[in-house]
Structure 1
Amino acid sequence: MASQAAEVLRLLTVKGETLAVAESLTGGLVAAAITAAPGASKAFRGSVTSYATEVKRDVLGVDATLLKQRGAVDPQVAAQMAAGVRKVLGADWGIATTGVAGPESQDGQPVGTVFIAVDGPSAEVGGGFGGGKVAALRLNGGRTEIRMESVRSVLGLLLEELEHEHMGNERAQDTEQNGGN
């Protein structure tokens, strides 16, 4: 996890981009992993631990009807959390975790149901926010294992997106240098 966080920060710093985090079930563990890495202040804007549903709604701007109909453990909620924290904290990238760590099920979802999301520049449509990437996880183990695996997974998803965007930029530069061929 420490190496994942360090690599995320390295890629963000190279690109001059920033990150914000919205967490529910992980309760600040994602932010802790990121800030444990040296140089985090160059890229990390901050985090919102939106453990309560009303914080997701009132601070992060997650749609109230969505929360009422589907509950907080939902892929669209994760996507809106990532987009919301990105907007609220003025970051280039936003990531989010929401799910059920246990010991009981929540919102009709079994323990180990987790949704993670990334929202970033490549997700923008017409300069807006939203439309990022969401992944559904079904995790096994106890509460601690589920929370730690959620942290690893959301950092991994962000790394994939950062590397994908980085590769896309390199290809575009290569094409320009080769006369557009």
Structure 2
Amino acid sequence: MNDPTTAAALVAALSSAGLSVSFCESLTAGLAAATVADIPGASAVLRGGLITYATELKSTLAGVPVELLATHGPVASETAAAMAVGCRKACASDWAVSLTGIAGPDTQDEHPVGQVWLGFATDGDVSTAQCQFSGSRREIRKAAVEAALAGLLARL
């Protein structure tokens, strides 16, 4: 299970700062937003999100340029950054967090199972982080969510 203290700390920090968040999720398929929504008070900070599990939805829903996807693929720093920027715009949030990666059990292109890229976007600032996790699909997805929530908390 994800550490509820990270999600609770994130909700508290966003709330005290008067900030909102949205999520653009590929491999986690809504788990990050659901983890935040489990926390009392989440309705004050959680705007919503996009589930872009299929590669083409990264473009049609999150506005990731087709050319960027063709060049870098769905699991890349550039893609994570563009997903976060597009989600922030689509959801009108102060912050947006994106998660894209390989939950397994098979590798994809040159990407190993457990490779995850996180994107963080706010007004005038976009950053990414690469993570490598091991375990089952479920464990990798949960670890990605924990890293995303902790990553945003560290940026506030």
Query: TM-score, with normalisation over the residues of structure 1?
Result: 0.82
Does 2:144 match 1:150?
A: yes
Moved more, 152-161 or 107-116: 107-116
Describe how 1:16-165 pairs up with structure 2 within 5 A.
16-121=18-123, 124=124, 131-162=125-156
User: Deviation of residue 133 (structure 1)?
Assistant: 1.6
The residue that corresponds to 1:128 in the other structure is none
Contact 2:72 2:78 in 1 (8 A): no
What stretches of structure 1 move > 2 A for 4+ residues in a row? none
Distance 2:151 2:106 in 1: 27
Q: Indicate conservation of the 8 Å contact 1:79/1:119, yes or no.
A: yes
Instruction: Give yes or no for contact 1:71–1:107 (8 Å, CA) kept in 2.
Output: no
Preserved CA contact (<8 Å) 1:23 1:97: yes
Question: When you count helix as a share of all residues, which structure comes out higher?
Answer: 1
What is the one-letter code of the residue matched to 1:91? S
**Per-residue deviation, 1:107:** 3.2
Q: What pairs with 1:163-178 in structure 2 (closer than 5 Å)?
A: none
Mapped partners of 1:117, 1:157: distance in 2? 9
Q: How many residues align?
A: 154
Gaps of 5+ in 1: 125-130, 163-181
Equivalent AA in structure 1 for residue 66 of structure 2: A
Q: Is the 8 A contact 1:19 1:93 kept in 2?
A: yes
The one-character-per-residue Cα deviations of 1:146-171 (angstroms, maximum 9, x if unpaired) are 11100000001000001xxxxxxxxx
Gap regions ≥5 residues in structure 2? none
Alpha-carbon RMSD across the aligned residues, in angstroms, is 1.0
> Equivalent residue of 2:28, what SS?
coil
1:2 aligns with: 4
Cα distance per residue 1:105-148 (max 9 Å; x no partner): 11321111110111113xx1xxxxxx412111111112111111
Among all aligned residue pairs of Structure 1 and Structure 2, give the percentage whose two residues are the same amino acid.
39
More strand by share: 2
Residue identity in the other structure for 1:64: V
The AA in structure 2 aligned to 1:148 is: K
Rounded to whole Å, the distance in 1 between the matches of 2:8 and 2:61 is: 28
> Does the 8 Å CA contact 2:118/2:128 hold for their aligned counterparts?
yes
Is the Cα–Cα contact under 8 Å of residues 70 and 107 in structure 1 kept in the other structure? no
Contact 1:5 1:34 in 2 (8 A): yes
SS of the aligned residue for 2:131 comes to strand
